[in-house]
Amino acid sequence: MASNEVFQYSIISALMDGVASHGTPIARVLKHGDHGLGTFHNMEGEMIVLDGEVYQMKADGSTIHIKPDETVTPFATVTFFRPTVTTRGTVTGKAGLKDLLTGLFPKARNHFLIVRMDGVFKTIKVRTAGGQCRPRESMVDVCSRQTTHTFEEVKGTIVGFRCPEYVMGVNVAGDHFHFISEDRQRGGHILSFETAGDVDIAAAQMVKFHMELPTEDDEFNEAELKLQAQGIKAVEG
Amino acid sequence: MASNEVFQYSIISALMDGVASHGTPIARVLKHGDHGLGTFHNMEGEMIVLDGEVYQMKADGSTIHIKPDETVTPFATVTFFRPTVTTRGTVTGKAGLKDLLTGLFPKARNHFLIVRMDGVFKTIKVRTAGGQCRPRESMVDVCSRQTTHTFEEVKGTIVGFRCPEYVMGVNVAGDHFHFISEDRQRGGHILSFETAGDVDIAAAQMVKFHMELPTEDDEFNEAELKLQAQGIKAVEG
C-alpha cells in the first residue's frame, strides 16, 4: 500500500458490541502500515504501532513488544506514515493539538489525518483497557473498569488519527491518540496531556481509506452493529 | 484491484450536501470495477456500470453511453464483479429481493453485497435525478424534482449493492439498485419492480472496502458532512 493511506481492520462498532474474540494476525496489518493504533484479543490493553513495531500497553502498567506473527488484533488502524508537515511547538492538551492540526491542515475537515509527536510531556494521563470478563462484553463495560495512569516529565511519542465526522461508527470520529514512553515501558490511550516545552510534530493528510472486515467470524457476523455515537465518544473521545 | 472488493469515490453525505460540481474521471473509477452505480456532474442523471460500460440515464428519458475519459463523477461505487452465487427465480419487488439476498448470504449481515439480475421485468419503476439548479443544491432538493418512469414487460439488467447499516452516510445503508434496459435506452434508480417470470440472479459477498475522497475540491472541503440518515433513506432507499 502507498504511504499516507488509511487501513483499518474491522470497525469500531464491532468493538463497541464486544466483538473481540478473534481477529487478524498483526503481521497482516503491518503490510498496510507502520504507524497506528488498535487493540488486542479480548480488548486486553491498548495497541500502538510505531516505526513498524507493535506494543501492547496493559492495564497492570506493563508493556509488551509484540511478535506480529503470533498475535491477532480484532481492531486496528494503521498507515505507512510519511509526514508532509513537520513543526515544533508547545501543545497544551488535546484542545491545543486539535487547534494546531486544524491550523496545519485548514482544508482537511473532511479528510483523515495521521499525527505523531515526539518529545517530553509535562504530564500525560492514559487509560488502558483491562480486557473483557466474558466474550462479547461491550467496550463500554470493559472501559468502565479501565485503569488510568498519570506520567510526569516523561519522554515519549504520541501516535494518532483524526477521522472525519462521517466515519463515526466505522472508526472514531475526531481525534484519537495513544502514547508510549521512550523506554517503551509505559503508555496507553490518551485522556489528557501537556508538553513540557517544544515537541516535534509530524503529520499528513490522507484521502484514501481501506477497510477489511472479519470473515468466518460468527461474533462479527451476528453482531447488531448499530451506531453508538455517544458510547464511542465516551470511551474513545 | 481484486474482484469483489468495493471501491467508492467520495461519500453519499457529500452528495446530500450538494457537492457535485467536480469529480474524478470515470476512466479512473473503472480501474476499480466493472459493475456499479453512481451519478454525474451536478447530479444530472443516474449512472449504471455494467460489464465495464457506463451509461447515464437522464430525466428526459434518454440514455447516453459514456466515454470514460471525457466525463467525471462526483460519486460512484463499483466492484470487479465475479459472482460467487448464481440462481434463477421470480422476484417480487425490493422486499422479495431483500429476502432472497438474505437467504443466499445468511452470514453477510455486516458485509457488503453486489447483485446483478438479468431478465424480463413485468413492471419496473425508476426515478432519474434531473440535476442541480445551482451549485451545492442538496440532493433532497434535486430529488424533489425527480422524474419517474414506469416500464412494462421490459428486458434488462439490475445492478446494485447492499451495504451494512454502519456505513450509512459514507454510502447508502441497505439495498440500492439501478436498472437499464437491454437496448440500453431506458433506465434509472429503482423505486419498485416485479419480474415477469424467472430471472438470472448473480451475487457476491464483499469484505474489502476502498474509498477515495475528493482532493483540491473546495466544495467537498467546505461541506459540513453531517449524517442525514433520514434524508438518504428518502432519496436513495
pLDDT in tens, B73-109: 999 999 999 999 999 999 999 999 999 999 999 999 9
pLDDT in tens, B120-171: 999 999 999 999 999 999 999 998 888 999 999 999 999 999 999 999 899 9
Grid coordinates standing for A218?
A: 460468527
Q: Per residue in A20-36, is it b (16+ CB within 10 Å) or e — as a string?
A: bbbbbebebbbebbbbb
Q: What is the pLDDT of residue B230?
A: 72
Indicate the burial class of B70 (C-beta count within 10 angstroms; 0-12, 13-18, 19 or more): exposed
3-state SS assignment for residue A141:
helix
**Bigger pLDDT: B179 or B1?**
B179
Nearest to A166 among B164, B222, B227 (CB): B227
Grid coordinates standing for A150?
A: 498519570
pLDDT in tens, B21-34: 999 999 999 999 99
CATH T-level topology, domain A6-236: 60s Ribosomal Protein L30; Chain: A; (3.30.1330)
Q: What is the pLDDT of residue B157?
A: 98
CB contact under 8 A, B110 and A166: no
With CA atoms as reference, the chain B residue closest to A223 would be B110
- Average pLDDT along chain A, 237 residues, taken 10 residues at a time: 96 94 97 98 97 96 94 98 97 94 96 98 96 94 92 97 93 95 97 96 98 96 82 73
Measured distance CA(B198)–CA(B87) in Å, rounded = 10
Residue at A19: amino acid letter: V
Q: Chain A contact for B220, CB < 8 A?
A: yes
Look-up of cell digits 470511551: A235
Indicate the burial class of B69 (C-beta count within 10 angstroms; 0-12, 13-18, 19 or more): exposed
pLDDT in tens, B34-52: 999 999 999 999 999 999 9
- Give A-chain residues touching B22 at CB under 8 angstroms: none
Min distance A217 CA to chain B CA atoms (Å): 9
Q: Over range B49-61, report the average pLDDT.
A: 96
In this prediction the ipTM stands at 0.95
Indicate the burial class of A217 (C-beta count within 10 angstroms; 0-12, 13-18, 19 or more): buried
Q: Chain A contact for B66, CB < 8 A?
A: no
Measured distance CA(A95)–CA(A193) in Å, rounded = 10
CB contact under 8 A, B110 and A225: yes
Min distance A95 CA to chain B CA atoms (Å): 21
Q: Give the mean pLDDT of chain B.
A: 95
Q: Chain A contact for B14, CB < 8 A?
A: yes
Residue at B45: amino acid letter: G
pLDDT in tens, A176-234: 999 999 999 999 999 999 999 999 999 999 999 999 999 999 999 999 887 776 777 77
Grid coordinates standing for B220?
A: 467537498
- Give the DSSP H or E segment for A193: strand A187-195
